[in-house]
Amino acid sequence: MNTQTKAAQLKERLLAGETVLGCFLSLGSPLTAELMGLAGYDWSLIDLEHGAGGEVEALAQMQALSATSSAAIVRVESNARQRAHRVLDCGAHGVMFPRIDTEEDARAAAAAMRYPPLGVRGVAFSNRVCEYGANFRPYLEASATALLTIVQIETRTAVDNVDAIASVDGVDVLFIGPSDLSHSYGVLGQFDHPEFSAAIAKTVEAARRHGKALGILLPKPDDMEHYRSLGFRFIASGSDAVLLNNAARSLVHNLRTQLA
C-alpha cells in the first residue's frame, strides 16, 4: 500500500467517526515498531520529541511499519517547517506537533504540511515518499487531503486559545497531552481535577464547533469509554518502552516470588 493510500484511509476512517487506536514508539527501534504495528494498532507514533533516536531512526521505523497495517505518524520537536518536511519526505502519514499554544503556532504547523500555494512545504522529487522520483505528481496531488495534521493541546495557554487553534484550516486533530496539560494547571496526574476536566470540556467544545477530531493519550486503558463518550476518536494507549518495562518487571517479580 503506497503512502498516500494508507494515509488517506486512516484519515477517512477518522473523519467518518470511527475510533482509531494508536501507540507511541519511544525506543527508536524498527523491531519494536514492527512488533507494535503487527499487534493491530491503526497508527503508531514515532516520538522524536521525547523518544530515542532522530530522523535516521524514524526512517527505519517507518520502513518497518510499512510491513504492517499501521499508519506511521511522527511527533516532531517543533512546528518548524524543516522538521515536518524531513519526516514527510521519508514517508510519514501524518505529523503531530507538540506545544501548539496559539493560532499562529497552528497555522505554522498546517503550512508545514502542505505544498504551495496552500503551505510552505518544499518540493523535492527524489525522496522515499514519492518512490524516489517515480511517483511525485500523484503524491503532490493527494498529500493536501491525505496527510493527517495533529496539534497538541497541552498547556493552559493552548486551552485559552483553543477555539482559535481549532479554527485553523488544515488542522485535523486536537490531541490532549494529559500529563503536560495537568502539570500546566498545577495538578499533575490529577485527571479528575475540576480544572483539568474544564480544560478537556473547552477543547471538546472547540473541536465540535470547528469540525475537528479529538485525540488523547489515555491516562490508563480503563479510561477508554470515558473519553469516547466525550467524542475522542484518535486514541493512543501503550508505548513500546512502557509495555516492555512492565512485562519485564512483572516477570522478574513473579520469578523472584517463586524463589522466596
In the set 50, 93, 183, 193, the catalytic residue is 50
Q: Do the Cβ atoms of 253 and 245 come closer than 8 Å?
A: no
d(CA 110, CA 82): 13
Report whether 200 contacts 219 (CB < 8 A).
no
Q: Give the cell for residue 150.
A: 495533529
What digits encode the pLDDT tens for the residues 45-104? 999 999 999 999 999 999 999 999 999 999 999 888 889 999 999 999 999 999 999 999
Q: What is the pLDDT of residue 260?
A: 85
Would you call 226 a catalytic residue per the annotation? no
The pLDDT tens digits of the residues spanning 134-146 come to: 989 999 999 989 9
Q: How confident is the model at residue 5 (pLDDT cuts 50, 70, 90)?
A: confident
Q: Mean pLDDT over all residues of the chain?
A: 95
Angle between helices 81-90 and 103-112 (to 10 degrees): 30
Could you give the CA distance from residue 42 to residue 27 in angstroms, rounded to a whole number? 19
Domains of the chain are 3-259 (3.20.20.60)
What pLDDT does 1 receive? 55
